[in-house]
Structures are given as structure tokens and as C-alpha cells.
């Protein structure tokens, strides 16, 4: 069973930086993908960034140039480095995983592409 646990959420001032971490287990496959999504009350879960076991990445347009996703497979951890944070980046950030999936340009369009999820970590950006 795949399990994920996010951490690193915090209160941060606008234009500040934050790094989220997601430790995963159970991904006993040579090919898999991990992603960060975020959600605010009353809105659907939105894809932020994804990476696969080959190192391919993709980002939502709203975070390109500001966020960086990285994978340390030796530590079973995926990171999301968030720079130049904006008020609209405030959300509950979730880590998702899917075995045998690879990153494509459309993989972030739906959270249904990722079968396993963590509990989320809250990011709040203040002025």
C-alpha cells in the first residue's frame, strides 16, 4: 500500500519562500509519478507540479518560474520549493502518487490521475 505524508506548511509573508516535503512508502515500482496539488475551501483540487521516476517535470502555469519540484528517491521524498509566494498560493497542499504513471503535459489536469494521497499541509501567505 502506498502511503504519503506531507510536511513543511506554515505561515509565510508574501514574496517569501517555503519548502514542502512529502515522504512516501510502498512505491515498489521502477516507474511512478508524484505530484503536488492544492485546494482551497469551495474549490476543486488544482494541480501544481508533478515529477516522475525518470525526472520529467511539469508545472501549472500559475507557478512556473516560482515553484520547483524535485525528487530524492534515496530518501523516498518529493519536495516542492516555493519562492516569491503570493496571497493566492494559500491553500492546503496535497501530495499524490501513482504507480506506473509518467509525466505528460496533461497529467495535472485532474487529480484522478493520482490514486494515492497524503493528508495535506497548510500554506498560508499573508501580506
**How sure is the predictor about 44, in pLDDT bands with cuts at 50, 70 and 90?**
very high
For residue 110, the tally of other CB atoms under 10 A from its CB is 12
According to the model, what pLDDT value does residue 28 have? 85
pLDDT score recorded for residue 75: 97
Mean pLDDT to the nearest integer, 93-115: 92
> Would you place residue 112 in the very low, low, confident or very high pLDDT band (cuts 50, 70, 90)?
very high
What pLDDT does residue 100 have? 85
Report the Cα 80 to chain-centroid distance in Å. Answer: 6
Asked if residues 9 and 93 have their Cβ atoms less than 8 Å apart, the reply is: yes
Look-up of cell digits 516535503: 21
**pLDDT mean across residues, the chain:** 96
Amino acid at each position: 500500500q502506498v502511503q504519503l505524508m506531507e510536511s513543511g506548511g506554515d505561515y509565510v509573508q508574501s514574496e517569501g519562500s517555503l519548502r514542502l516535503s512529502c515522504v512516501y512508502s510502498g512505491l515498489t515500482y521502477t516507474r511512478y509519478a508524484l505530484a503536488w496539488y492544492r485546494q482551497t475551501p469551495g474549490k476543486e483540487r488544482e494541480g501544481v507540479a508533478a515529477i516522475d521516476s525518470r525526472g520529467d517535470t511539469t508545472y501549472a502555469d500559475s507557478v512556473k518560474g516560482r515553484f520547483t519540484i524535485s525528487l530524492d528517491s534515496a530518501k523516498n521524498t518529493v519536495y516542492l520549493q516555493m519562492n516569491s509566494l503570493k496571497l493566492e498560493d494559500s491553500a492546503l497542499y496535497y501530495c499524490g502518487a501513482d504507480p506506473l504513471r509518467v509525466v505528460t503535459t496533461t497529467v495535472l489536469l485532474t487529480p484522478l490521475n493520482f490514486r494515492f494521497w497524503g493528508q495535506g499541509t497548510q500554506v498560508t501567505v499573508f501580506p
